[in-house]
Structure formats: C-alpha cells, structure tokens
Amino acid sequence: MSDAEIEELRALLEEVIRLRRNLQHAEMRSAGRIEAVRPRHRQSALNLVHYTELRRHDIRDLQTRLSKYGLSSLGRTESHVLPSIEALIWTMTRLVTPDGEHTATPPGYADGSELLARNAVNLLGPKPEDRATRIMVTLPSEAAADASLVRGMVERGMDLARINCAHDGPQAWRLMVDHVRAAEDATGKHCLIAMDLAGPKLRTGPVRPGPRVLRVQPLRSKTGTVLEPGRVWLGATPERAPDPALPAVPLADNTWAGARRQGQRIRLKDARGARRTLFVEQTSRDGCLVTLDKTTYFTPGTRLTAIADRVTGKKGHKPGRATAEVGELPAVDESLLIHRGDSIILSRNLVPADSTSVGKHRIGCTLESVLADARTGERIWFDDGRIGGVITAVGPGELTAVITSAAPQGTRLRAEKGINLPDSQLTVSALTEQDITDLEHVRELADIVSMSFVRSATDVRELLAHLDPGRDRNLDILLKIETVAAFEALPDLLLELMKWADVGVMIARGDLAVEAGFERLAEVQEEILWLCEAAHAPVIWATQVLDTLARRGMPSRAEVTDAAMAQRAECVMLNKGPFINEAISMLADILGRMQDHTQKKRSLLRRLRAWDHNGTDA
C-alpha cells in the first residue's frame, strides 16, 4: 500500500472515530430514556439512539471512499450500529499501523438481527414452515356468521386475524374470535388475534339522501342488444336472496313473492309510468328471483300484478290476478360533485349537505376539535386523497378550503369519507372514550392491540396508562404509523413503546400516502423499515397489498412487485375482499419464493432530517 493510500486511510479513520464520538455523545444525552425502557429492550433502545444520530449525518462520500478499500461501507448497520463502527475502526487501525500493538481479536459483534427475530416470534408468533414472513388478514363482517370462511383463511396461510373495532360490535368480535380458535383446533395451525382501536373519526358528515328508488337494468351491448337480463329478488326478507349481491325489493305482503310459480309473469308500472314485465326464474318460501329485459325503477307503493295462467276450454274466461305492493326501500346515497376551483366549507354543523350545490359546497365534520387546530395555508385531503385543497379561511366552528386536486370531470364526495390535515398540529387524543370502552373487550379477546391515529409519545403513554402490566401482560401492542406526525416522532414513539414487553409497528400506507404525498410514500416506508430494524421492532407492511386481487380476482403487475418487496417486513397485511382466499394463497407463494433472494437491504446513508427535532436526545 502506498504512502498516499496510508494517509487517506488515516483520514478516513479519523472521520469514523469522530462518527463514533457523536454516537457516544447521543447515548449520554439519552441515558435517562434508555434506562426507562424494559431491561430486555435496553440494547435495542441504545441501538435506536445510535442509529438516529448516525442518520443525522450525510456519510455517502465516506461510504464510497471506504468501499474503495474493500472496507465496510456501513450500509447494513441498522440492527447493530456501534458494533459495526467499532469493528471498522479495529480493522482500519491495523491497516494504518501494521507494526503497532493491537488487540488480538476484534471487538465483540452483537448482531441485533437475533433480537429482531426473537421479538418477531414473541409478537407475531413462530415463522410459518414455508416462508419467513407472516400474513395478517382483516376479517370481514361475514366472519362472525361463517366459520368456514375463517377456516379457509387459516388453511390458506393466515397467521394473524385482524378485527377492526371501528366496525361491527362486541358480539360479532367474539364470534369471529371463536371461529378463529375453532379453525386453529381443526387445522392444527397457529393464528393470533389483533384488534384495532378505531381512534378519533375524522370524516365528512351526512349528505341529504336522494329518493327511495331502486333501478334495475339488463346488461346491453354497445348496440343495445340485451346480453344478460336484469335480476332482482322480490321478498319480505332480502337477506334470504340466493346471491347477496342481487338487488332486493321488499314487499309489504310477506307471503306474496313466495307464492309465485317458476315461469310466471309479473306486470307493473314503474316510477316513470313505464309498463314492465318481470319473469319468475326461481322461487322459494322466502321470495322469488325475477328477471327483466328493460330498465325498471321500483319505488315504495309500486303495484305488482301476477298474471295467472289462462285456463283453456272456457270461452271468455279472464285470468285471475294477485297483487302486492313494494315496501320501504332505502334512500339513494347522494354525493357532492367537486371540481378544481370549487370551495368547500367544512363545518361542525352536521346538518345533511345539499348534493345539488355547485361551486360552493358545505359539509359537516365529525370531529369538531380539529377545526380549531387548522390554519390558513395548510393542506386538506378528502377520501384517501381523491380530493385535495388548501385552507383559505378558518372561523368559529368551520374552515374553508379551495380545491386544487380533483378529477378533470369532477370527483364525488360522499358521507363518511376520511379527512386528512397533514400540515395541522392536531391536539385531539389518539385514544377516545369509545376506545377505552372497547379496550375492555380487546384485553379479553385479543393477543395484540393496535393503536390508531398515534401522533406523539404522549399518545403512547396514554395507552400504557390504561393497561396493567400484570393483568395485561399477555396483550402485545402495535402502533399504526399513518400520519406524518407519527413518522417524524417515530424514535420517540419507539422509546416510549419499549416500556411494554412485546411491541411492533404497522406501516399503514393508506393514510400515510395521503399525508406524506404519494410521491414520497416509497421513501417514507423505507425509512420506517430502517428505523424499526434499528429498534429491533417487528414491522407489518399494510394497506392495499394485492388489493385488486382480493376485490376483483385479478392482481396488477405492480401489486405483485409490491407484494414481493413486502417480504422485508416481518408480516404483511391483506384487506378483506370476495377473493381474499386467492390473495392469501398468492401472497404466501410470493413470500416463500422471495425469502431466499432478499433480506432487508443495503443503503446509502444520506442525512435524514425527519427525526431531527423529536426529542430523542433530550
């Protein structure tokens, strides 16, 4: 090695030593917070502090110069930051002073990947036999009534069942859990229960409903030829229809539809005064399935007349008739049509919005307190980012936003759609009174509780205050990272969370994409993966994984790639859909194939500013 190369190595060594010094200073500043975590998490908390400090420096140039000499570029230090740097210093010292006195063996190398693997087993259960990554599935409401549905999910590869407390209720949750436990017994497979606390519901208020009418139409070709007749279920009990997807028309007479015969005709005059004929295709005691070849509008009170078979051989005989009336129909859901340049007034007043408004719209907000937290110039998003705008005015109990993002022909905004305020400093607690009530059921039924809408370490402390380390010692905790505030405070959140035994993080990419911006989602989820690896915290990769496969039966190419990338997490979550079993099977196959190709990552360490002011070094 030339003298010039020796000198360059000495300069590099000095840089690495300065880097180690920075980590040691950060450790001293955070000594109290490290000491406050559970003893089993101390090494993880220490490593998290080291990694956060490391990422406050841009060492890309240092990495490149180290690689030139075949030295570690520190691109895989997440799970063991200081040991990696100590080992690098030991190696470089021997290179620049080959004849000097050296430690006979390199410093001990505590590999944090073993801690991460241990924590993943404790939180998420043992690894499946054929893959390293677990699969979590959101249970649909039908899981409370259909034990075979749940068993099929377990058989296909569901390792964790997720129950969202924002839907259904305690009785349904209990039935879902019973079905999961029965599926475990029947299959011999292990499946944990995770229950999400709903958190505060920041959503649009009601929209004035439309008329009580049901339109049923046949499927036609572009030239108007009927390809498939329209189908509708007639009966007093629509839930008894042979296909739940069928439109259903309840009748005032509970017995009339069940008395029809296959092949019989039913005539009516629909809401527009058009004469229509229905053809009875299938009957049962609960109703009948009819077809139609022309678009028909049913409204309450529409009179149906069954045409009796003509009795032959009797001159002048008129067929007998039997009539019934359509019963109550649900009102048509209406929506606001929002265009770019329109204004929306978001109000604490939950009076139903007027769907006929043009240009200037008013709609309620289910969480009044956020209206006081918003400021002019901040962004606002509706319905998973489909509509976006900028707040232009804030007044008592309301705010006004001008729309800057919507489809060219306008975007429909309906009731109960999510609202995101990514720039606002919201003061609302992540734990609501309803969550505290639901927590009593969660601690009885679940293995894991997931906290939604977390934004700060204060939120984590509030959840821990409602848990008893003795009584709830078998209940583990997941934090859902779904806001920019949570992402920026992630080191603080993890240090606070480490006061509990078994913990992890869910990357809730739906809301997170809206808050951070779709163009930043890939970057943000990578940084969350890195930081959680540094904390030895298991990660669940969630939201819209194989989403079109689960909902429509066919995945997109991008979704398959996304599912393959998800293998770097300890668990992947699938959302519900009619083709969920196919999605579970495909995901299990992808994860099994990818486990021999990928394990976490190697990265270039530019400076990260996301965690500069989160209090980790306080």
CA dihedral of 29, 34, 36, 40, whole degrees rounded to 10: -170
Checking DSSP bridges between strand 303-307 and strand 321-325, what pairing results, if any? antiparallel
pLDDT, position 130: 87
CB atoms within 10 A of CB 132: 18
Q: What is the DSSP string of 591-616?
A: HHHHTTT--S---------TTTTSST
Close Cβ partners of 98 (under 8 Å, ≥ 6 residues apart) = none
**Of 272, 260, 258, whose CA–CA distance to 215 is shortest?**
272
List the structure tokens of 337: 């049509």
pLDDT, position 97: 86
Q: What is the DSSP string of 134-154?
A: EEEEEPPGGGGT-HHHHHHHH
CB atoms within 10 A of CB 609: 10
Residue 106 in this model has a pLDDT that exceeds 90: no
Strand boundaries in 385-493, DSSP class E: 387-395, 398-405, 411-413, 419-420, 448-451, 476-481
Q: Count Cβ atoms within 10 A of the Cβ of residue 358 and give its class: 0-12 exposed, 13-18 middle, 19 or more buried.
A: exposed
119-144 residue pLDDT tens: 999 999 999 988 999 999 999 999 99
Angle in degrees, 0-180, between the axes of helices 42-54 and 490-497, rounded to the nearest 10: 170
The 8-class DSSP code of residue 449 comes to E
pLDDT, position 72: 87
Close Cβ partners of 591 (under 8 Å, ≥ 6 residues apart) = 131, 132, 133, 135, 563, 566, 567, 572
CA 436 – CA 444 distance, rounded (Å): 13
pLDDT, position 326: 95
Amino acid in the structure at residue 87: A
List the structure tokens of 134: 């677990």
Lowest mean pLDDT among 91-105, 272-286, 289-303, 536-550: 91-105
CA 128 – CA 465 distance, rounded (Å): 34
List the structure tokens of 36: 């406050």
Helix, strand, coil content of the chain in percent (nearest 5): 35, 20, 40
- The dihedrals phi and psi of 534, each to the nearest 5 degrees, come to -65, -35
List the structure tokens of 559: 């979704």
CA 564 – CA 111 distance, rounded (Å): 25
Contact call for residues 176 and 163 (beta carbons, < 8 A): yes
CA 167 – CA 165 distance, rounded (Å): 5
**Of 110, 200, 197, 126, whose CA–CA distance to 159 is shortest?**
126
Q: What is the share, in percent, of the chain residues with pLDDT greater than 90?
A: 78
Length of the chain in terms of residues written: 618
Mean pLDDT (whole number) for 427-451: 96
Residue 47 in this model has a pLDDT that exceeds 60: yes
List the structure tokens of 41: 């998490």
Residue 601 in this model has a pLDDT that exceeds 60: no
Residue 482 in this model has a pLDDT that exceeds 60: yes
3-class DSSP state of 261:
coil
CB atoms within 10 A of CB 551: 15
pLDDT, position 103: 60
Sign of the CA dihedral running 404, 407, 409, 415? negative
How would you list the strands of the sheet with 387-395, edge to edge? 360-364, 343-347, 398-405, 387-395, 379-382, 419-420
pLDDT, position 243: 79
Distance of CA 440 to the CA centre of its chain: 23
Strand boundaries in 49-154, DSSP class E: 134-138
The 8-class DSSP code of residue 365 comes to B
Contact call for residues 57 and 21 (beta carbons, < 8 A): no
412-436 residue pLDDT tens: 999 999 999 999 999 999 999 999 9
515-541 residue pLDDT tens: 998 889 989 999 999 999 999 999 999
pLDDT, position 240: 75
**Of 551, 558, 545, whose CA–CA distance to 509 is shortest?**
545
| Residues paired with 136 in a beta bridge | 160, 573
Mean pLDDT score of the chain, rounded to an integer? 91
Place of tokens 């001008």: 402
Residue 379 in this model has a pLDDT that exceeds 90: yes
Amino acid in the structure at residue 532: C
Place of tokens 């992947």: 572
| pLDDT band at 390; cut points 50, 70, 90 | very high
CA 585 – CA 155 distance, rounded (Å): 9
CA 559 – CA 43 distance, rounded (Å): 36
Residue 312 in this model has a pLDDT that exceeds 50: no
**Of 246, 410, 248, whose CA–CA distance to 335 is shortest?**
410
324-352 residue pLDDT tens: 999 999 999 999 999 999 999 999 999 99
CA dihedral of 289, 294, 299, 304, whole degrees rounded to 10: -60
Greatest alpha-carbon pair distance for the chain in Å reads 125
CA dihedral of 138, 144, 150, 151, whole degrees rounded to 10: 160
Amino acid in the structure at residue 339: H
Q: What is the DSSP string of 522-585?
A: HHHHHHHHHHHHHTT--EEEESSTTHHHHHHS---HHHHHHHHHGGGSSEEEE---TTHHHHHH
CA 192 – CA 570 distance, rounded (Å): 14
CA 478 – CA 493 distance, rounded (Å): 11
228-256 residue pLDDT tens: 999 999 986 667 777 777 899 999 988 89
Contact call for residues 33 and 461 (beta carbons, < 8 A): no
